[in-house]
Each structure stands twice: as structure tokens, then as C-alpha cells.
Structure 1
């Protein structure tokens, strides 16, 4: 029986998902483009638009592993945030930074959650084709370059922070965000429903446009991503326990392990990288990769 998902495909997509979900280069975009570039059985088996393919459930299911990796890396922060939310509800108060940050994360997650539930299928069926995805990847790169250019021109990002700064200090600054700005940053993730637009990238650049340091903006993006990608993955896990998962559950576990490892190493790298370095290399990569894909699709 043809499994529709080989071990090699599961391994490559698993590690790709874990890395690109957190790097500002669009995991869904790469999940669409890589099979299209390789062609052959890859483009047939790994097609997110195919109604009877397990591929979409597989890549979204990998989100659970990515979210677990984020929770492990930020576990001290999540303990404080969850405690803050619980004490805020029990005592009916919002008095300390942990309580306020918890509610900011809740409020900022609501818009993308609602739109994702209502429009995910529409975005997938209309936009998850190689050419539009490559074009959106170029747009993603231009946005990354534009925000870095604007910040450099304004010369407001002169404070370089130590990458070893404690999470509590960064979260204390994030807790001071006005509610509407936090919700706007969270809502920006809606754009990532379009393959090629990075969830972490668009949230980070939106935060930077509101005056957050690159490090704090990236941290807020990672905290925001955790409940979103965990919920998205949990909704699709059920599909993999049914007929769509027949014959590929071993590959799903294999891909998930690689995805979790890739995500953990990525967030560990990025929290240090974003402290003192620019998003420009990621922007340049997106533009070059998107243009190369469009050229390849045109001449093939």
C-alpha cells in the first residue's frame, strides 16, 4: 500500500517545520515550495491542497512538537505567566507584570484564532500554490528589510542588550505594552495564513514598528506563537488518528521528533541572535529564495 508519505519526506519536512516555524522565513511557505521544487512523487505526496492527502494534517500536527519545544525552552516564563493568569482570575485583579502579560497574550491571540478557524481552508485552497507562495515569500523578505531600514534611519535602536538578560526583565518590559498595540501585534499573525508570510517575522516586525527592541519583539512573537501553533496542531491530531493516518504514524512520530529538536535549537539560537543582530539576512534569503523558485517554475 502506498503510504503517501515516505520516511525521507517525513524527516525532511519535520526538521524543516521545526526550524522555519521560528525563523522569520515561513514554515508553510517552505512546506509548499520544497515539494514543488523537487517535483515527482514529492509534489504528488506533499500537496497541502489535496483533499485526501495526509500532508496538511501531518505538517500542522508537527506544530504540537514545535509548541512543546517552545514550552520547554520558556518553561520558567510560562510558569510565571500561567500563575499570573490564574491569580488574576481568582483575585479579580491585574496588579503585577505577570498578570498583565498573561492577559495581553490572551487578548492578542483571540483575533488570529478566530480568523484561523474561519478562513484557514479558504487561504489554503486559494493561495497554497507554488507561484503565489514564492511571491509572498518575496513580500515577507521585503517587509523584513523595510523594518530594519526604518529602524536604522530613525536611529532609535541604539540599546544593544545582553542576550543573557533574564526572561523576567524582558517580560516586565512587554507587560507595559498598551493593550491595543499588543492586540495589533497578535493580529498581524493573521497575515501568516498566506503561505510565504512568516508568523514570527510579521509579529516581530510589527512589534519593532511599535518601538520594541528587536529582542523584546522576537520574544513576544515566540510567546504569542506557542498557544497558536499548539492549538492548530491539536485540531489536526485527530485527523492523523483516523483514516488519514493509516500507514504513516511511524513517519509522523519520526517527523515530530525532528521538528521538536529543530524548534528547540532554533529558538535557542534566535533568542541570542535577535539580541544584537539584524533581520536583514533573513529578508535577503526570502527574496532570493522566492525569486529563484519563481524562475525555476517558469523555465521547468
Structure 2
């Protein structure tokens, strides 16, 4: 990978990991437009680590409070809003883990084509618009409850289909279940931590077992740039989402899906 390719892909990964616009849809664009080869597992791990560091550092106070409260709920039987939120995030992670193991080969073999990504980008973008229009805008993330958390987790499992957008589908489900826009985004971002960590660990295992070559300079640059992009994305998204709503992202998704369809099929 040359430096320009590293910069573009790292910034794309960092920005699109947390915006409801589908990172997989964006990562195929440079390859299609510039004829780039696949960036490889090592680089995928690097940019995911950058995104993971961004969300962990941004929510460091919340994570520390949840971890402390979660341990207190286990060893001391003391339950609080933070411990409940921690348990709900754990519960919401289970469907994606189960579906990941069950459908891994199916997704990698049949659902990673650009045509699928173009179609799902549009369909799930329109679903996000419906959810945003129907949103009751009542609950915070601390009022989610285990039933709603499980339903959001089931929605997250759908993000295994490329083009769906993990953040997009989880925010869609959260809005439909009555969460405020900012609360839906915060819950989605916190849910991303175990998912991104698990994905990075699995990819690392594949790298070690298959003996992939490693370009440490490219990986280091990828981590730094994806971290900066992801942190900025989280910060500004949470600042503006309550006022702006999801419509601009829906319009962008539909336009992107139409562009991909035209690029692929014409």
C-alpha cells in the first residue's frame, strides 16, 4: 500500500465506523474507482484498533463507571443504572456473536458483492428515515431495559450483511424503541466496543495463523489516522444529532446506493 492509499482508507474507516452510512459501502469505492487491491487483514486490524481506541477514550468515564458498577453487581449484589447499562450492552452483543459464527461463511461467500452493498445501503437508509420520523424521543440509554437492549442487539446482527451499517441499524432499532437520538447514538457507540474488539481479535488470529506480511509503517499510520477521524466523528455527531436528525445521512445513503448501482451495473 502506498501512503495515499493508507491515508484515504484509514480516514474512511474512522469516519464511517460510527456514522450511519455503512463503512463497507465506502471501503469498496476506492478499490472500484482506483483499481486498488484489497488492503489485507493486517491493515483492517490496524484501522479497527484506531476506531476502538477512539470510542474507548471518548467514553472513558462512562466505561470506568460501568465496569466498576458491573463488578459491584456481581461480587457485592449492588445494582445501579451503570451496572444495568453494562449488562444490557453485554446482552445486546450476544446476537451478533452467535450470528457471526453461524453465517460467517455465507456472508463471506455470497453477500460481499458490490451489488448487495449498493442495495442494502439504500434499503437500510430508508428504514433509518422511517425510524427517525416515527421516533418518540423519550428514553435515555439508562432507560433502555433488557428487552429493548436485546432487540437492538438482534438488529446489530443484521449488520453482518455488508452495506447495512452497524451504527445505522442499531440507531434505527433504538429510535423505533423510543430512545432519544443522542441516547440511541451513545448506546450504539458503547455497543461497538465489544464488537470491534472481537472482530480485531479474530482478524489477528487469522493473521498469526496464516502468516500475513506486515507493513508496520502503514499500520501505524492507519491506527493514528483512523483514531483521529473516529474520535472527531463521535464528538461532532453527538453534538449535532439531536438538532439535525438522520435525514441528511439518509439522503446521502440513497445517493451513494444509486451511484454504486450505476457504477456497477452500467
Per the normalisation by structure 1, the TM-score is 0.83
Query: What is the rounded CA distance, in whole Å, between the counterparts of 1:56 and 1:247 in structure 2?
Result: 9
Alpha-carbon distance between aligned partners in 2 of 1:6 and 1:278, rounded to the nearest angstrom: 37
* Aligned mates of 2:45, 2:213 — CA distance in 1: 17
**C-alpha distance in 1 between matches for 2:211 and 2:119:** 31
Give the total of aligned pairs.
266
- State the Cα distance separating 1:121 from its structure 2 match: 3.4
Q: Kindly report which structure 2 residues correspond to 1:73-88, keeping only aligned pairs within 5 A, or say none.
A: 73-88=58-73
Residue in 2 that maps onto 1:71 = 56
Contact 2:92 2:149 in 1 (8 A): yes
Structure 2 vs 1, CA of residues 57 and 143 (structure 1 numbering), >3 Å: closer, same or farther?
Answer: farther
Partner of 1:49: none
5+ long unaligned stretches in structure 1: 47-53, 160-169
RMSD, aligned α-carbons? 1.9
Say which SS state the counterpart of residue 51 (structure 2) adopts: helix
Q: Which residue of 1 aligns with 2:123?
A: 139
Mapped to 1, the partners of 2:162 and 2:30 lie a distance apart of 12
Q: Deviation at 1:203?
A: 0.6
Q: Separation in 2 of the partners of 1:192 and 1:274?
A: 21
- Is 1:230 the equivalent of 2:197? yes
The residue aligned with 2:15 is 19
Q: Does 1:110 align with 2:94?
A: yes
1:240/1:249 contact within 8 Å kept: no
Q: Give the alignment partner of residue 264 of structure 1, picking from 231, 235, 249.
A: 231
Asked if structure 2 preserves the Cα contact closer than 8 Å seen for 1:33 and 1:130, the reply is no
Unaligned runs of 5+ in 2: none
2:25 counterpart residue number: 29
- Does 2:148 align with 1:181? yes
Give deviations 1:39-80, integer Å, cap 9, x for gaps. 43x1xx12xxxxxxx624532442121111100000000000
Alignment of 1:143-182 (within 5 A): 143-151=127-135, 156-157=136-137, 173-182=140-149
The corresponding residue for 1:220 is: 187
Higher Cα Rg, which structure: 1
CA shift in 2, pair 1:274/1:66, >3 Å: same
TM-score relative to the length of structure 2: 0.93
> What secondary structure does 1:175 align onto?
helix
Contact 1:80-1:98 within 8 A present in 2 as well: yes
Structure 1 residue 253 corresponds to structure 2 residue 237: no
